[in-house]
Amino acid sequence: MKFKTSRQINSIKAYEPGKPIKELERELGIKNSVKLASNENPLGQSPLVMDAVKENLYSMHRYPDSRGHDLVEAISKKYKIKPENIVIGNGSDEIISLLANAFLDSNEEALMPFPSFLMYEICVKIAKGTPVMVSLKDFQIDFDKMLEKISKKTRMIFLTNPFNPTGGIFTKQNFLKFAKNVPKDILIIVDEAYFEFVKDDTAFNSLENPLKDKRVVTLRTFSKAYGLAGFRIGYGIMDKEIAKTIHKIRPPFNVNSLAQAAGLAALSDVEFLDKSVEFILKGITFLKAELDKINLNYYPTHANFLMVNVGKDSSEVFNDLLKFGVIVKSMKSYGFNDWIRVNAGTINENKIFIQALKKVI
């Protein structure tokens, strides 16, 4: 028997996560493969995280703290804001979903760059809203086109800084000019999943002066620079009235106890974070230098990944690299037919990728 699904759900294109290492090795009968597709921290997680997780294993028969008190307090101290302005989530994409469900009625609109993180579109459609795609201009968010697309139905706008998948940034000047022309009743959601890697002082940082503009909702994650992708934990910083609305629909135990303990420990280990960022950015520098040697163009990045023009069908390159045990991301589904995206790995992983790419190209 086939059950009827909603029109919105039928229109969703499923999110395709990076291919798991174990799955690839089973399929191809290979070992020691390298995954550089999901923008993870190649150094893993802080030793303090491991200690905190072990310590909390003995209380797993208890429900987690629903509000994540200790972690929320630590985040509030870091950014000098009140705990009432913070919502923690099962990854920042859960907060995207909560925002869409809380602030979109049927057929109301959310603007987003296209292509960008697919979960914006998926979450809006699940909430019965209408995603309005705004094409990029020279691989960057087209703020002028964004303003043109605003209608009476617009309730929220998604921005990403640094931008995924290109790694580009928009400046404080870009943002302030844009925000000035956005109606006061529209939420501006700024996804800063990769901001820890930004070294450009001109980049807009929504947490430099948090909550100054009540429309701005900041999303941050522990999955990238902090190395906690497997724990699934992120957070949003927003006006207290927005947070109050989110808490009405947020599942009561959405962030498990181990994830909360891991996030708290990771936040306290500034030394490990700095070490990770420095190591990863050195990896990006290495990849750029090697790509220059083989005359492959790449987009200037401010994140832990590079988008590389391979000069041929990127799906073909993706599949050929798999045969060498190297997993990257084909950008064909994003409309960038001859581009791949690769994140910086360990020194050895970066070398393996370059060697495999030379053979494939």
pLDDT in tens, 105-139: 998 999 999 999 999 999 999 999 999 999 999 99
Average pLDDT over the chain, rounded to whole? 94
In angstroms, how far apart are the furthest CA atoms of the chain? 58
pLDDT at residue 32 in the model = 75
How confident is the model at residue 292, as a pLDDT?
A: 98
CA dist list (Å): 313 to 195, 280, 310, 360: 30, 28, 8, 12
Percent of the chain with pLDDT over 70: 93
The answer on pLDDT for 179 being more than 80 is yes
Average pLDDT over residues 227-243: 98
pLDDT of residue 18 exceeding 70: no
Query: Which tokens hold the place of 313?
Result: 């069908």
> Average pLDDT of 159-178?
96
Q: How do residues 25-77 score in pLDDT, each as one tens digit?
A: 777 676 778 999 999 999 999 999 999 999 999 999 999 999 999 999 999 99
Question: Taking a C-beta distance cutoff of 8 angstroms, is the pair 318, 330 a contact?
Answer: yes
Q: Mind listing the domains of the chain with CATH numbers?
A: 18-44+271-360 (3.90.1150.10), 47-268 (3.40.640.10)
Q: Where are the beta strands (DSSP E) in the chain?
A: 34-35, 86-89, 109-114, 130-135, 154-160, 187-191, 216-221, 234-237, 305-309, 326-327, 329-330, 339-343
Mean pLDDT, residues 5-22 taken together:
66
pTM score of the predicted model: 0.93
pLDDT of residue 3: 64
Q: Give 293: exposed, middle or buried? Use CB within 10 Å, 0-12, 13-18, 19+.
A: exposed
DSSP string, 81-144: --GGGEEEESSHHHHHHHHHHHH--TT-EEEEEESS-HHHHHHHHHTT-EEEEEE-BTTB--HH
Structure confidence at residue 283 (pLDDT): 98
Q: Is the pLDDT of residue 15 over 70?
A: no
pLDDT, residue 19, reads 59
Residue 14 has pLDDT above 80, yes or no: no
> CB under 8 Å, gap of 24 or more: what pairs does 307-310 form?
307/139, 307/165, 307/166, 307/167, 307/331, 307/336, 307/339, 307/340, 307/341, 308/339, 308/340, 308/341, 308/342, 309/338, 309/339, 310/338, 310/339, 310/340, 310/357, 310/361
Q: Residue 24 has what pLDDT?
A: 64
What is the mean pLDDT of the segment spanning 97-107? 96
pLDDT average, residue stretch 315-326: 93
Q: pLDDT tens, 288-308? A: 999 999 999 999 999 999 999
Nearest to 315, CA basis, from 343, 340, 350: 340
Q: Quote the Cα angle for 205-210-212, to 5°.
A: 110
Q: Rounded distance, CA 32 to CA 36, Å?
A: 13
Q: Residue 241: is its pLDDT beyond 90?
A: yes
